[in-house]
Structure 1
Amino acid sequence: MDLLTGFIAFIDKERLFTRDQSMLLAVSGGVDSVVMAHLFKAAGFNFSIAHCNFQLRGEESLRDEAFVEDLAASLQVPFHQVRFDTTAHTASHRVSIQVAARQLRYEWLEQTRVTAACNYIVTAHHMQDSAETVLMNLSKGTGIAGLHGILPKQGHLVRPLLFAQKADIQAYATEHHIAFVEDSSNITVKYTRNFFRHKVIPVIQEAYPGVVANIAGSITRFREAEILYAQSVETHIKRLVEQKGNMYMIPVLKLQKTVPLQTVAWEIFRQYGCSPAQLPQVLELLDSSSGKLVETGTHRIIRDRQWLLITPLAEEEAPVIVIEKDRTAVAMAGGLLKLKTSARKDTTTIPAAAHIACLDKHALQYPLILRKWKQGDYFYPLGMRKKKKLSRFFIDQKLSLPRKENTWVLESAKRIVWIVGLRIDDRFKITDQTKELLTIEWETL
């Protein structure tokens, strides 16, 4: 099967795009992308050509830019080009030249795809590129996702040459007298991919001449295995993870009995910022006492009795909220306080619900202060004449650490009136002498 026939067959097999869609081809001027452009023309697809000049190779970069512009003219297709100050981007973003070039390239290509009304961006990655990616991922450590190599289609990005070996592309260029330019930076081995391309794969080929094709065949099987893997992981997650608001709960006993524990735990906890190095610490929580925790980059994982609780790291909030006498509502993180003043009547019923505080308004001094609780806080729990520290009260109530951390108190003249959503202070309760009520309802959003 010749390259053009294989090219069309691969596009159809992978359902990369249809003939009525418009493609934006990323063309550097090298043999791979230039042959790709000629294949698109020969196949009769609708496409434009885009070229990035990273201005890293002086006159050679200008030569490539001019060559690709002439190529677009000869193929009679629209041409888009841009010049980047890649060195400045590297310095300002503190990334490597490779990372900077990739960031600039794909951001601009996506912008151009949208403005040019193209359906997909097309790159000329081939079979060797995908095999190199697998070997690189294996070398630095990877999960199953790192074994699928370069995917034929990701979002608005397609790679229709993944079926072809480099030698096939070069042979097509020779047979059809297709001119291209050589990028001198492809020769150096200081870049990781070039090191694998020029130093690693040739050595492996001495023992296994068909290594690239063999890896490509394995990639197909890895991609299918990954689908089965993802389905199984999703089943475990649904069985183990329960969501309550912005908190996730995992039953310790169920997780301990899960097989394979390491793999399932990794797939769960990596979603909450857990690194591979932190996973053993998280699993140690299964055998630890309540209150032990592991803090990831984004979340806190806490052992709380029979549960592991996962909560986002606390965001900065206003330390206090001042409530004047005429306020009827106060919005705060996670909920809304609704305030209502009414006259006390013989028929007045005092709600028993913990999320509603019914207070003697004349016992209050304005403004009221709403704030997070802190160590040392105390109050007189409703029905008691002795004061109690909030920390002790929380223990008696068996509050989890996340619940404690997100508890607010309402204060009047430096005296706690209400632990929001839990208990009012006995000093502000409704009595027979109460004439006016302040009812405050906590409504979770």
Structure 2
Amino acid sequence: MLQQLRSYITKEQLFTAADPLLLAVSGGLDSIVLTHLCVQAGIKVEMAHCNFQLRGAESERDETFVRTLAESYGIPLFVRRFDTETYAAAHKRSIQVAARELRYQWLEELRQERGLSFIATAHHMQDNVETVWMNLSKGTGIAGLHGILPVQGRIVRPLLFATREEIKAYADAENLQHVEDSSNTTDKYTRNFFRHQVLPRLEEVLPEVVKNTGSSIERFREAEILYRQAVEIHKKKLIEQRGEEYFIPILKLQQAVPLATIAYEILKPFQCSTAQAAQVVELLNSEPGKWIATATHRIVRDRKWLIITPLEATASTHFIIEEAQHLVQLPDMLLKLEQLAREGFTVPATASIACLDLQQVQFPLILRRWKKGDYFYPLGMAKKKKLSRFFIDQKLSLPEKEKVWVLESHKRIIWVAGMRIDDRFKITDKTRKILKLELA
């Protein structure tokens, strides 16, 4: 067992001989065996025990047992008592989740405080197999099949190579004492149900199910590495970032194989669920303008692109502009206003600058986001046009439409900012003064 431990540490590159560990010791069989093995291997360790105060006298018994154990080994021990039930209620967590959060938060704080390299837990092969079967049953995808990783950040699991039977046999051979957690006997927890009901039934038909699944886990981990590499290749081919927005070419995505999996993986960073990814695939064959919202983003079907844009507040923002005002700071740009004489002035040929007949303009002006029903008379046209139709003609995507500002004078739109002025406010031969508007 000791040799297997050393081989596993080397194989998985868990830590070096110079790395001191913080052992999480509950007093149960697994953590007792891990402690004994580390001592026998000459690994420098310190011990930590969590008392969650959930089992009355039994919790006190466990703490006393671990204190005695640490003293017998001459190992520094740190104990923390938690008011787990209060924490669970305050943070709306189940007792199990609350205990896990409290445990790992404290262990990491203690590791840093003590200057130790890693936290070592006593998870073993059976724990890993249970995790994989639970993940498979819940449908967590390929990421769930790697089970409990040997190294995860600053947490290492040196006993993952060993079965529960091997651990018990070692404890018996070394005459190691331990305490039993009575909560492990109940089937009300999902893990215990798999431990006591599911896996024993599988073992009746397939006696080597634990070891066989354990071997498969290693292959799953390697397959996941290849899978991730392939996903990254597709991401580089399919996703183009432009500022805060992301563009995916519809035709290329439609040709991707396997489509459903690739769509899910490239959309997952935008909080897209499996069900929503399937809806996005359907979106590829829908008409432009349709969209799906995730918790953080909106995925819009444009003509040639899927456009992923961060969710923004939908309320319109209005700015009142008085005649003496020269600057307006918008959330995404700056508007400059200037009054000029007509004589000798040349209108710049740029969309970011608009020049209007000041005599036709009535202050105060209102600068706002466009809304449904808005219309204006585009420069060069005698007939009015709805902005929604104008945007279609300009081939604007939905995210682009939502960023459009309009400048209004006496309930008439005089400028679709950065795009087109209203024909009724254009400069003519009769113009004497100009209102120059510039976006910066």
Give the TM-score normalised by structure 1: 0.90
Whole-angstrom distance in 2 between the partners of 1:360 and 1:80: 79
Which stretch has the larger CA shift, 232-241 or 287-296? 287-296
Indicate if the aligned counterparts of 2:123 and 2:159 stay in contact, CA closer than 8 A.
yes
Indicate if the aligned counterparts of 2:353 and 2:436 stay in contact, CA closer than 8 A.
no
3-state SS of 1:278 partner:
helix
The residue aligned with 1:410 is: 407
3-state SS of 1:381 partner:
coil
Whole-angstrom distance in 2 between the partners of 1:169 and 1:294: 51
The residue aligned with 1:352 is: 349
The residue aligned with 1:6 is: 4
The residue aligned with 1:281 is: 279
3-state SS of 1:18 partner:
coil
1:380 is displaced (CA, Å) by 2.9
Whole-angstrom distance in 2 between the partners of 1:42 and 1:363: 92
Which of 186, 189, 192 does residue 191 from structure 1 map onto?
Answer: 189
Whole-angstrom distance in 1 between the partners of 2:305 and 2:415: 28
Deviation track 1:125-158 (CA, whole Å, cap 9, x = no partner) reads 1111111111111112231111111111111221
Which of 349, 369, 372 does residue 372 from structure 1 map onto?
Answer: 369
Cα separation, partners in 2 of 1:327 and 1:180, compared to 1, 3 Å: farther
Which of 80, 89, 92 does residue 91 from structure 1 map onto?
Answer: 89
1:431 is displaced (CA, Å) by 5.0
The residue aligned with 2:268 is: 270
Whole-angstrom distance in 2 between the partners of 1:106 and 1:147: 23
The residue aligned with 1:15 is: 13
Structure 2 counterpart of 1:229, which letter? Answer: Y
3-state SS of 1:189 partner:
coil
Indicate if the aligned counterparts of 1:299 and 1:313 stay in contact, CA closer than 8 A.
yes
Whole-angstrom distance in 2 between the partners of 1:315 and 1:100: 34
Give the TM-score normalised by structure 2: 0.91
Establish whether residue 330 from structure 1 lines up as the match of residue 332 from structure 2. no
1:301 is displaced (CA, Å) by 2.2
Which of 58, 65, 68 does residue 66 from structure 2 map onto?
Answer: 68
Establish whether residue 423 from structure 1 lines up as the match of residue 425 from structure 2. no
Deviation track 1:379-422 (CA, whole Å, cap 9, x = no partner) reads 23233344332222112212111211222223344433332222
Map 1:11-410; keep pairs closer than 5 Å.
Answer: 11-315=9-313, 319-323=317-321, 325-326=324-325, 328=327, 330-332=329-331, 335-339=332-336, 341=338, 343-344=340-341, 348-359=345-356, 364=361, 368-410=365-407
Indicate if the aligned counterparts of 1:365 and 1:413 stay in contact, CA closer than 8 A.
yes
Whole-angstrom distance in 2 between the partners of 1:369 and 1:83: 61
* Unpaired segments ≥5 residues, structure 2: none
Indicate if the aligned counterparts of 1:360 and 1:438 stay in contact, CA closer than 8 A.
no
Indicate if the aligned counterparts of 2:355 and 2:434 stay in contact, CA closer than 8 A.
no
Which stretch has the larger CA shift, 48-57 or 415-424? 415-424
Cα separation, partners in 2 of 1:289 and 1:198, compared to 1, 3 Å: same
Cα separation, partners in 2 of 1:67 and 1:430, compared to 1, 3 Å: farther
Indicate if the aligned counterparts of 1:131 and 1:216 stay in contact, CA closer than 8 A.
yes
RMSD after superposition: 2.4
Cα separation, partners in 2 of 1:422 and 1:48, compared to 1, 3 Å: farther
1:79 is displaced (CA, Å) by 2.6
1:220 is displaced (CA, Å) by 0.9
Cα separation, partners in 2 of 1:355 and 1:34, compared to 1, 3 Å: farther
Deviation track 1:287-318 (CA, whole Å, cap 9, x = no partner) reads 22222222233322222223222222223667
Whole-angstrom distance in 1 between the partners of 2:264 and 2:226: 17
Indicate if the aligned counterparts of 2:414 and 2:425 stay in contact, CA closer than 8 A.
yes
3-state SS of 2:333 partner:
strand
Whole-angstrom distance in 2 between the partners of 1:412 and 1:47: 76
Whole-angstrom distance in 2 between the partners of 1:190 and 1:218: 28
1:367 is displaced (CA, Å) by 5.0
3-state SS of 2:256 partner:
coil
Cα separation, partners in 2 of 1:276 and 1:139, compared to 1, 3 Å: same
Indicate if the aligned counterparts of 2:415 and 2:422 stay in contact, CA closer than 8 A.
yes
1:180 is displaced (CA, Å) by 1.7
Give the percent of matched residue pairs that are identical in Structure 1 and Structure 2. 58
Cα separation, partners in 2 of 1:366 and 1:260, compared to 1, 3 Å: same
* Unpaired segments ≥5 residues, structure 1: none
Whole-angstrom distance in 1 between the partners of 2:237 and 2:66: 54
